């Protein structure tokens, strides 16, 4: 099962509404994945600063302990640290030694990544998704079929700066692929096959591939059935495997591009009645970037 949603805005006038629109899309997908949910949203950022999204308990004093140049915003069980980019190594080292109980879920100039167990609507509400603004976002509702219902196993997965992935499907060669990627410096924190897919894209991008090229190569290197929605600092991409057994629908207008596992996830979007609605073709990369 599982449900995927994504929204990439072309019209800056819609940016204050991004979180509310994605919250509605995510909630509609509850029947496809009621055990946990998550989302990544791309908001404000600047080149010399970095955001680290950290998950855990007892978060209130973390930013202060890191020093006055570190800002922190607590949202329920997650903390977004904003810091000078040159401080990343120090902050990560401090977290590893002083607060090893905390997990970094996402990092980059613009990405914030939140996930928890529970119904998608409840997860969106506890993190205040409806009040968030930005340029694009992706989300996932999970029905755990290959691993336990845990926050760590929820999507999205982020293995590179400003990069994240949500996945509906199953990969049969993720163990062998993990063994190839780990010596290349790609680290994994769960047994979820979707995290391996994210790590594979991180590795390909690091090797110099474009996002489209990395996704195209996954058609050969990843064995299984899958629908991927990927977010990067500038872009948004969709790929289905050559068989395309998982449901998917997209809509495009002059204001946005939207993805949903089912059309009902899209019906609340503005102008949907005049959108170009289509089913993404198997083994074809669809990608959009901000300019």
Tokens found for residue 141: 């509702």
pLDDT of residue 124: 97
For residue 46, indicate whether it is catalytic: no
Across the range 176-191, mean pLDDT stands at 94
Considering only residues 83 and 45, tell me which one the structure prediction assigns the higher pLDDT. 83
Q: β-pairing, 157-160 with 163-171?
A: antiparallel
Instruction: Choose the catalytic residue: 2, 46, 164, 245.
Output: 2
pLDDT of residue 172: 94
pLDDT of residue 148: 78
For residue 245, how many other CB atoms are within 10 A of its CB?
Answer: 12
Overall fold of domain 3-39+133-289: 3.60.20
In 3-state terms, what secondary structure has residue 24? Answer: helix
Q: Assign 286 a pLDDT band (cuts: 50, 70, 90).
A: very high
Domain boundaries, the chain: 3-39+133-289
Rg (the chain; Cα; Å)? 18
pLDDT in tens, 252-273: 999 999 999 999 999 999 999 9
């Amino acid at each position: 099962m599982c449900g995927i949603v994504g929204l990439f805005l072309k019209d800056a006038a819609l940016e204050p509404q991004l979180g509310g629109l994605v919250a509605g899309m995510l909630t509609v997908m509850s029947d496809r994945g009621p055990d946990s949910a998550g989302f990544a949203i791309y908001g404000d950022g600047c080149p010399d600063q970095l955001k680290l999204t950290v998950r855990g308990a007892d978060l209130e004093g973390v930013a202060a302990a890191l020093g006055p140049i570190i800002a922190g915003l607590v949202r329920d069980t997650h903390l977004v640290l904003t810091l000078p980019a040159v401080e990343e190594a120090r902050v990560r080292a401090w977290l590893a030694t002083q607060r090893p109980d905390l997990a970094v879920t996402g990092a980059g100039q613009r990405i914030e990544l939140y996930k928890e167990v529970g119904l998608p609507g409840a997860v969106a509400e506890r993190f205040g998704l409806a009040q968030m603004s930005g340029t694009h976002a992706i989300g996932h509702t999970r029905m755990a079929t290959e691993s336990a219902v845990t926050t760590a196993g929820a999507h999205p997965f982020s293995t590179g700066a400003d990069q994240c992935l949500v996945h509906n499907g199953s990969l049969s060669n993720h163990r062998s692929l993990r063994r190839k990627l780990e010596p290349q410096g790609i680290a994994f924190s769960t047994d979820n096959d979707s995290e391996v897919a994210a790590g594979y894209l991180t590795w390909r991008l690091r090797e110099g591939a474009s996002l489209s090229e990395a996704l195209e190569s996954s058609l050969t290197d990843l064995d299984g059935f899958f629908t991927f929605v990927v977010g990067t600092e500038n872009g948004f991409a969709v790929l289905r495997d050559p068989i395309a057994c998982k449901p998917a629908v997209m809509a495009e207008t002059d204001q946005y591009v939207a993805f949903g596992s089912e059309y009902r996830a899209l019906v609340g979007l503005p102008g949907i009645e005049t959108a170009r609605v289509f089913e993404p073709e198997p083994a074809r990369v669809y990608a959009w970037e901000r300019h």
